[in-house]
Amino acid sequence: MKLFQIVALLAFFQGVVSVPVSDFQERASQGLRLLQLGDDLEPVWKTEEEKLDLLEQDIGFFDLTETYEIEQSLAPVAQLKVASTAFAAPSHQKKVKPLLRKLDTKQQAKWLKTLTEFNNRYYTQEDGEKAAKFIQKTVKKLVSGRKHISVKAFKHSWTQTSTVVRFEAAKSANKNAPVTIIGAHMDSINGRSATARAPGADDDGTGSVSLMDVVRVLAKDGFKPTTPLEFHWYAAEEVGLLGSQDIAVKYKADGKQVKGMLQCDMTGYTKPGAEEVMGLVRDFTDPAVSDFVAQLAETYSRIRTVDTTCGYACSDHGSWTRQGYPAAFNFETPFGLHNPLIHTANDTVNAPGFSWEHSVEFAKVVLGFAYELTA
Ligand SMILES: *[C@@H]1O[C@H](CO)[C@@H](O)[C@H](O)[C@H]1NC(C)=O
Ligand SMILES: [Zn+2]
């Protein structure tokens, strides 16, 4: 009984699936997608059409098809034992607070305008990749002259690339130290079709431009972290977390360790009439990283977090949690009070409840997370 429980718990934790690989190749080559709808559920094969139906019903899942084989080949890595001091109370107020004042929502709004002017940022569309290139080009300019910062396109098996910006550790001895990661997804979707208009201003244009602005502020300041720091803009989040899974599985295959991951997906909306708070997601996240995010909000933001849950595979933090890495997710509202216009042509900055004053508070937490964990 005990042994059974331990085995079951391990399977739960590692998201182990028991689809035979021979069967996998045959079905994948027929164009079927392998989806996992819960950690305690066996993955299921769905047609592309059935998959889109699930998306329309807002049912969360990992689309395992692109990463299944490599994931199966990986030995489980022992989860990084994060030193208890890693998430001690924030202590760099003197350095961080002046940087927070440099965040610039007018600059963010200009970038968001460009991102929302693409017809959509769907992962198979030319415009989806043009949007990724816009981010890469813009961030390259922001960090030009800073040799310790690199900007790379991460290629996938589909059209849209993800973007990885890395601040190397000041001392080369720390090159392979656990990396701190902040993520947003840069794709957008209209539930109706791959070609329909999807400005995706809030989802997740807001998170995307928040990260760009934090990179701008840190690069301009000449910030050189003690341990590596990365900013990720994921492709193909909306269709089963494809981009972030590709990257998280690669990091695990390469034996990389992660100090903490923070997802920044939808920060621009606060429900008119409701109390203005941040929704700190407590399911499929790491308690220590999440507690630290709550402390960062208290220290660096005008508004506080309240605990919420968002369900299975609801954003890219799930891809990191799935691989055993410690991740957190700070969301625009308690789940359910969030922007009702996402995944439609009306997800724009003109939507009622859209607020840069709200969004910038999340950028402050992101900047605090980056600085406090890597300085
Ligand atoms: C978008 O806004 C227009 C104009 O207000 C409205 O007619 C339409 O129904 C809205 N569509 C969605 C999907 O919310
Ligand atoms: Zn999103």
Of 207, 211, 213, 185, the C-alpha closest to 358 is: 207
Contact 342, 82 (CB under 8 A): no
Residue 251 neighbours by CB under 8 Å, 6+ apart: 258, 323, 325
Residues carrying an active site annotation: 185, 203, 237-238, 265, 343
| Residue count (the chain) | 375
Opening angle at CA 207, ends 204 and 210, nearest 5: 145
Residue 30 neighbours by CB under 8 Å, 6+ apart: none
Structure tokens at 38: 């819960």
Which atom of ligand 1 is closest in space to residue 346's alpha carbon? 1
Give residue 75 CA to ligand 1 midpoint distance, Å: 49
87-374 has which CATH code? 3.40.630.10
Contact 334, 270 (CB under 8 A): no
Contact 159, 129 (CB under 8 A): yes
Contact 207, 267 (CB under 8 A): yes
Is 149 strand, coil or helix? strand
Is 13 strand, coil or helix? helix
The angle, 0 to 180 degrees and rounded to 10, between the axes of the packed helices 105-117 and 207-221 is 130
Which atom of ligand 1 is closest in space to residue 344's alpha carbon? 13
Contact 263, 327 (CB under 8 A): yes
Contact 168, 228 (CB under 8 A): yes
Structure tokens at 233: 């803009």
Cα–Cα distance, 62 to 37 (Å, whole number)? 7
Q: Whose CA is nearest to atom 3 of ligand 1?
A: 346
Phi, psi of 335 (to 5 degrees): -60, 135
Give residue 346 CA to ligand 1 midpoint distance, Å: 6
Residue 182 neighbours by CB under 8 Å, 6+ apart: 211, 214, 230, 231, 232, 261, 262, 263, 264, 366, 369, 370
> Does the C-beta of 346 come closer than 6 Å to ligand 1?
yes
Contact 332, 340 (CB under 8 A): no
Which atom of ligand 1 is closest in space to residue 341's alpha carbon? 14
> Does the C-beta of 344 come closer than 6 Å to ligand 1?
yes
Domain spans, the chain: 6-65, 87-374
Q: Whose CA is nearest to atom 6 of ligand 1?
A: 346
Model confidence, pTM = 0.93
Of 208, 182, 335, 323, the C-alpha closest to 263 is: 182
Among all bound ligands, the one having the nearest atom to the CA of 204 is 2
Indicate the pairing of strand 278-281 with strand 258-263.
Answer: unpaired
The angle, 0 to 180 degrees and rounded to 10, between the axes of the packed helices 356-374 and 207-221 is 50
- One pLDDT digit (tens) per residue for the chain, 375 residues: 444 333 344 444 444 456 777 789 999 999 999 999 999 999 999 999 999 999 989 899 999 999 999 998 887 655 555 666 679 899 999 999 999 999 999 999 999 999 999 999 999 999 999 999 999 999 999 999 999 999 999 999 999 999 999 999 999 999 999 999 999 999 999 988 899 999 999 999 999 999 999 999 999 999 999 999 999 999 999 999 999 999 999 999 999 999 999 999 999 999 999 999 999 999 999 999 999 999 999 999 999 999 999 999 999 999 999 999 999 999 999 999 999 999 999 999 999 999 999 999 999 999 999 999 999
Residue 191 neighbours by CB under 8 Å, 6+ apart: 55, 56, 343, 344
Q: Which of 193, 346, 349, 350 best tests ligand 1's pocket when mutated (most atoms within 8 Å of CB)?
A: 346
